[in-house]
Structure 1
Amino acid sequence: MLTEVSATRYVTPLREGGSLPGLVEADDLGLYVMKFTGAGQGRKTLVAEVICGRLADRLGLRIPGLAQIRLDPVIGLGEPDPEVQGLLKSSGGLNLGMEFLSGAIGFDPLAHEVSAEEAGRVVWFDALINNVDRSWRNPNMLLWQGDLWVIDHGASMIWHHNWRGAATSAAKPYDASDHALAVFGPDVAGAASALAPQVSEELLLECAADVPDVWLADEPGFADPDEVRRAYATTLLTRAQGLEQRITLGTPADLPKAPADRSAAQAEPSKSSGRAGQSAPAGWRESR
Structure 2
Amino acid sequence: MRFRALKELAALCVTEQLSISELMLQEQAHESGRSAEQEFATMLSYYQIMKEAVIKGLTEDTTSRSGLTGKDAQRVMSFLDAGAASVGEEACRAMAYALAVSEVNASMGRIIATPTAGSCGIIPGVFVSSQQRFGWEDDHMVRGLFCAGAIGYVIANNSFVSGAEGGCQAEVGSAIGMAAGAMVELRGGTPEQAIHAVGLALKNTLGLICDPVGGLVEIPCIVRNGFGAVNALAAADMALAGVRSVIPSDEVVQVMYEVGTAMPEKHRETAKGGLAQTPTGKRIMKELYRK
Q: What TM-score does the superposition give when structure 2 sets the normalisation length?
A: 0.31
Structure of greater relative contact order (alpha carbons < 8 Å, 6+ residues apart):
1
Q: What TM-score does the superposition give when structure 1 sets the normalisation length?
A: 0.31
More strand by proportion, 1 or 2? 1
